[in-house]
A and B are shown apart, each in its own frame.
Chain A
Amino acid sequence: MLFNSLDFAIFLPLVFLGYWFVFRRRRSQNVFLLVASYVFYGWWDPRFLGLIVLSSLVDYIVGLRLHATGSARIRRGLLWTSIIANLGILGTFKYFNFFAGNLEGLFSLFGRPLALTHLDIVLPVGISFYTFQTMSYTIDVYRRQLEPAKDIVEFFAYVSFFPQLVAGPIERAINLLPQFQRDRSFDRAKAVDGLRQILWGLFKKVVIADNAATLADPIFDHYELHGGSTLLFAAVLFSFQIYCDFSGYSDIALGTARLFGFDLMQNFAFPYFSRDIAEFWRRWHISLSTWFRDYLYIPLGGSRGGLALSIRNTLIVFLVSGFWHGANWTFVAWGALHALFFLPLLISGRNRRHVAAPVGNSGLPSARELVGMLFTFGCVVIAWVFFRSANVEEAIDLLVRMCSPSLFSVPDQFSKQYITLLIFFLVVEWSGRHGSYGLQHIGARWRSWARWTLYYGVLFLIFRFTGQGHEFIYFQF
């Protein structure tokens, strides 16, 4: 079920009413949420519910067994059982054909053609998200940082909680599981804030992201017909498309969770206002970046073993992060490129210069900050070209064409209307950069009629400028 669909517009109020008015005890609310979450997921394809149940069951049992045994050997075995089961599911559905294809290519390179079986299967929506979520639970229990869930309903509801099931945030059990274990009462302020965040997420998705897609897709599909400036315009459009698509989804997820009294982790913190790439990665897809930090980078040794080890570990994390996005070399190239941008900062020890929100409380960025932001954004845009392209050769070809003299010509595709909407979006985001999302604090001290006017204005823009419906990009990951 898509957040921007009619189905969800009916589903959400029904679940909300049932949750607060019919099932008022914690356990029955958890059961209701679990059923609702499975309906939400099964709406797309009920066959794949089995995978979520399997993944949840494995980690539930492993968690309990980890807690019950003191033997280090058995504990390690249990941990690997969980990791193999989860990565096995992920590997089969997401990466099997990629590896088979590349192996075949490698063998034919040496004159030994190989014909391997390729699986004719659909990639289950959200598989990368929920497998990582359950794995983090088991690892935390293994590390004795978390008590295992005793109640199977609580655990299953945690894994499948519908607002964040198919595209994150990848919630840690430490944050989310306890919320299923305590009574929840309706908090009006939280619910209002949730609705506001849903409104802003919808605006980002259907106005900014979908319209960007409508403009950028034809250019990317026939990139060889366009000059450098148009290709740059398309790459910038895609940068906003993917940001608003994904962060818009996260906003709707966080807002929806708040309606039910849950707090999910912030997944985006205005990444395009970052002053260097290191800051960008502290602000982009935070739940995934921190997952890799805690469960890959630190176990590999982090920065404790000197600069060389730190560089190696950083490189591994970026490559794996790229590969997590999809079974294609373009994603690996995307990760490698970001590593390339990041490593100079790491080597020079300047990777933690910008930790606070951009530009204190002053109205506009300083010239220095602005240059930093533009440079960082430029690097990100270049990397997105790899992310968007069908293969690495196409991405390189597109970048070469972009960097031609025609880069200084007037783009042959342009939309003043879209640029106006984009400026409005950036102004709201900039004004709200100290909050969790753009619209959060704007109008907080206004009279309610003025605040409502603002929200009506955003609604009007949604109705007026809704782009052609596109699925959320991150569903495919």
Chain B
Amino acid sequence: MKTLPFLRRLALFLVIPIAALLAILFRADGSTDEYYLRFTTPPATSLVLGTSRAAQGIQPHVLDSVLAEAGIHVQTMNYAFSMGLSQYGPTYLNSVRKKLAPSARNGVFVLAVDPWSLSATRVRGRIEFEESANFLAKMDLVNMHPNIEYLLTVYPKPLLGILVPDPRANDKRLLLHEDGWLEVSVPMDPASVAHRRTEKLAEYRNERLPNAVPSNARIGALLMTIDLLKPHGRVLLVRLPVSDAMLEMENELMPHFNRLIDLIARHEQVDQLDLSANGDAWTYTDLHHLYTADGARVTAMIARKLGESPPAVRGVVGHDRYPMLLGTERSHPAFTVLERGSR
């Protein structure tokens, strides 16, 4: 058979590339990018969900240690990503489903909520859910180490850069920890902070706010996410602190946001924690991302809330009682998908 010598020679040729590939795969770590490590850990029994605010602001190691002091022993994974990727919706929900350990019991689940994470974007007159075309929607394997699927099909930069980092790209500002916390180290002198703050403000005021539309589909997805997590432990809805300027825009976007979250929390019989008051008392790296030290303080507050006794069963509100849930986009495909789901 002439095929065997061919395969032997091919295997010999491939030894070096495969060895290089393996070296790359095993070299990838928290400095590779701001997402990779989250897809390499085992299925999680406790989770932090949300967008970049939660990714940077909620530190699982702080959460776990404060809870441990209260006698609650959990190992939390921060599975929050960013706007355009992990706003509540079918894409994120499916990914959370894959990340959640089916056997999880008595876990804690911190769901960071804000008007942006419950809004869709209007692009040329059409309502769009950006994340549906993003990699999170396509990823099947989220608990694999090394995560070949991510590195070979999602990772946007040349693979060799993982093994031999480009000396010109001296960007050490982002470090993703194994527990999913994204540590951001940027200059915190007043001028740098002011510069980033101005840029963010312009971005949100001029680009995001005019095109953001509160979304029933996203609210529905949040409800489904809570339903998914409740059997596995305690769920807490958290509104993280933001600067007053950001809060002002959020109030423009969804004036009744706190009421909505309150209704959801009552209906779902989960706790909530609103930390949006006195926003300017906290330190941010820009307009709304908490600085490391304050992130730890906020995380400790969240942990203490979780450490309290479970919420009492209060008046249950039916879904038809959400006044701001009924709106314009019930017919949107994303919402149809949700309605076809388990709910």
A residues lining the B interface (CB < 8 Å): 5-6, 9, 20-21, 185-188, 191-192, 195, 452, 455-456, 459-460, 463-466, 468-469
For B209, list chain A residues within 8 Å (CB): none
Contact B5 A188 (CB under 8 A): yes
How far is B2's CA from A74's CA once the two chains are assembled, in angstroms? 49
Evaluate whether A195 and B159 lie within 8 angstroms (CB atoms) in the complex, with A6-B149, A459-B17 already known.
Answer: no
The 4 closest A-B pairs by CB, nearest first: A464-B160, A463-B160, A186-B3, A6-B152
Contact B6 A466 (CB under 8 A): no
Evaluate whether A188 and B153 lie within 8 angstroms (CB atoms) in the complex, with A452-B13, A464-B160, A465-B158 already known.
Answer: no
Evaluate whether A464 and B158 lie within 8 angstroms (CB atoms) in the complex, with A6-B149, A20-B3 already known.
Answer: yes
Majority DSSP secondary structure for residues of B touching A: helix
Contact A469 B153 (CB under 8 A): yes
For B161, list chain A residues within 8 Å (CB): 464
Whole-angstrom distance from the CB of B207 to the nearest CB of chain A? 14
For A460, list chain B residues within 8 Å (CB): 160
Evaluate whether A466 and B13 lie within 8 angstroms (CB atoms) in the complex, with A6-B152, A186-B6, A188-B5 already known.
Answer: no
Evaluate whether A455 and B13 lie within 8 angstroms (CB atoms) in the complex, with A6-B148, A186-B2, A188-B5 already known.
Answer: yes
B residues lining the A interface (CB < 8 Å): 1-3, 5-6, 10, 13, 16-17, 20-21, 24, 148-149, 152-153, 156, 158-161
Contact B153 A463 (CB under 8 A): no
For B153, list chain A residues within 8 Å (CB): 5-6, 469
Whole-angstrom distance from the CB of A51 to the nearest CB of chain B? 23
How far is B156's CA from A466's CA once the two chains are assembled, in angstroms? 9
Evaluate whether A188 and B6 lie within 8 angstroms (CB atoms) in the complex, with A5-B153, A6-B149, A452-B13 already known.
Answer: yes
A468 to chain B: closest residue by CB = B156
Q: How many pairs, one residue from A and one from B, have CB atoms within 8 Å of each other in the complex? A: 42
Whole-angstrom distance from the CB of B254 to the nearest CB of chain A? 30
How far is B6's CA from A20's CA once the two chains are assembled, in angstroms? 12
How far is B16's CA from A245's CA once the two chains are assembled, in angstroms? 27
For A6, list chain B residues within 8 Å (CB): 148-149, 152-153
Contact B159 A466 (CB under 8 A): yes
A2 to chain B: closest residue by CB = B153
For B2, list chain A residues within 8 Å (CB): 185-188
Evaluate whether A463 and B149 lie within 8 angstroms (CB atoms) in the complex, with A186-B2, A192-B6, A452-B13 already known.
Answer: no
Contact B148 A191 (CB under 8 A): no
A206 to chain B: closest residue by CB = B158
For B149, list chain A residues within 8 Å (CB): 6
Whole-angstrom distance from the CB of B193 to the nearest CB of chain A? 29
How far is B10's CA from A195's CA once the two chains are assembled, in angstroms? 10
Contact B16 A456 (CB under 8 A): yes
**10 further contact pairs, Cβ within 8 A, besides A6-B153, A188-B5, A463-B160:** A5-B153, A6-B149, A6-B152, A9-B152, A186-B1, A186-B2, A187-B2, A463-B24, A463-B159, A465-B158
Evaluate whether A463 and B158 lie within 8 angstroms (CB atoms) in the complex, with A6-B153, A452-B13 already known.
Answer: yes
How far is B159's CA from A463's CA once the two chains are assembled, in angstroms? 6
For B17, list chain A residues within 8 Å (CB): 456, 459, 463
Whole-angstrom distance from the CB of A453 to the nearest CB of chain B? 11
For A20, list chain B residues within 8 Å (CB): 3
Contact A191 B158 (CB under 8 A): no
How far is B158's CA from A6's CA once the two chains are assembled, in angstroms? 15
Whole-angstrom distance from the CB of A208 to the nearest CB of chain B? 14
For B3, list chain A residues within 8 Å (CB): 20-21, 186
How far is B149's CA from A185's CA once the two chains are assembled, in angstroms? 35
A452 to chain B: closest residue by CB = B13
How far is B1's CA from A43's CA once the two chains are assembled, in angstroms? 32
Whole-angstrom distance from the CB of B4 to the nearest CB of chain A? 9
9 A/B residue pairs, CB under 8 Å, sorted by A: A6-B153, A9-B152, A186-B1, A188-B5, A455-B13, A463-B20, A463-B158, A466-B159, A469-B156
For A464, list chain B residues within 8 Å (CB): 158, 160-161
B159 to chain A: closest residue by CB = A463
Whole-angstrom distance from the CB of A304 to the nearest CB of chain B? 49
A6 to chain B: closest residue by CB = B152
Evaluate whether A191 and B6 lie within 8 angstroms (CB atoms) in the complex, with A6-B153, A456-B16, A463-B20 already known.
Answer: yes
How far is B163's CA from A460's CA once the two chains are assembled, in angstroms? 12
Whole-angstrom distance from the CB of B279 to the nearest CB of chain A? 34
For B21, list chain A residues within 8 Å (CB): 463
How far is B221's CA from A35's CA once the two chains are assembled, in angstroms? 38
Whole-angstrom distance from the CB of A417 to the nearest CB of chain B? 11
How far is B177's CA from A15's CA once the two chains are assembled, in angstroms? 40
B153 to chain A: closest residue by CB = A6
How far is B13's CA from A195's CA once the two chains are assembled, in angstroms? 12
For A188, list chain B residues within 8 Å (CB): 2, 5-6
Best-surrounded residue of A5, A6, A191, A463 (most CB of chain B within 10 A)? A463
A214 to chain B: closest residue by CB = B156
For A468, list chain B residues within 8 Å (CB): 156
B148 to chain A: closest residue by CB = A6
How far is B3's CA from A185's CA once the two chains are assembled, in angstroms? 10
For B5, list chain A residues within 8 Å (CB): 188
For A452, list chain B residues within 8 Å (CB): 13
Best-surrounded residue of A6, A191, A452, A466 (most CB of chain B within 10 A)? A466
How far is B13's CA from A459's CA once the two chains are assembled, in angstroms? 11
For A455, list chain B residues within 8 Å (CB): 13
For A459, list chain B residues within 8 Å (CB): 17
Whole-angstrom distance from the CB of A157 to the nearest CB of chain B? 21
B163 to chain A: closest residue by CB = A463
Whole-angstrom distance from the CB of B151 to the nearest CB of chain A? 9
How far is B3's CA from A191's CA once the two chains are assembled, in angstroms? 9
For A191, list chain B residues within 8 Å (CB): 6
How far is B6's CA from A192's CA once the two chains are assembled, in angstroms? 8
Whole-angstrom distance from the CB of A358 to the nearest CB of chain B? 32
Whole-angstrom distance from the CB of A16 to the nearest CB of chain B? 9
B156 to chain A: closest residue by CB = A468
A191 to chain B: closest residue by CB = B6
How far is B3's CA from A9's CA once the two chains are assembled, in angstroms? 19
For A463, list chain B residues within 8 Å (CB): 17, 20-21, 24, 158-160
How far is B12's CA from A452's CA once the two chains are assembled, in angstroms? 11
For A5, list chain B residues within 8 Å (CB): 153
How far is B16's CA from A429's CA once the two chains are assembled, in angstroms? 26
For A465, list chain B residues within 8 Å (CB): 158
How far is B176's CA from A227's CA once the two chains are assembled, in angstroms? 40
Whole-angstrom distance from the CB of A391 to the nearest CB of chain B? 14
Whole-angstrom distance from the CB of B39 to the nearest CB of chain A? 14
How far is B2's CA from A187's CA once the two chains are assembled, in angstroms? 8
For B10, list chain A residues within 8 Å (CB): 195
How far is B5's CA from A463's CA once the two chains are assembled, in angstroms? 27
For B24, list chain A residues within 8 Å (CB): 463
Whole-angstrom distance from the CB of A45 to the nearest CB of chain B? 14
A211 to chain B: closest residue by CB = B158
How far is B7's CA from A382's CA once the two chains are assembled, in angstroms? 46
How far is B148's CA from A9's CA once the two chains are assembled, in angstroms? 12
How far is B159's CA from A466's CA once the two chains are assembled, in angstroms? 8
Contact B158 A466 (CB under 8 A): yes
Whole-angstrom distance from the CB of A32 to the nearest CB of chain B? 15
For B148, list chain A residues within 8 Å (CB): 6
For B152, list chain A residues within 8 Å (CB): 6, 9
B166 to chain A: closest residue by CB = A464
For B20, list chain A residues within 8 Å (CB): 463
How far is B17's CA from A298's CA once the two chains are assembled, in angstroms? 50
How far is B21's CA from A195's CA once the two chains are assembled, in angstroms? 19
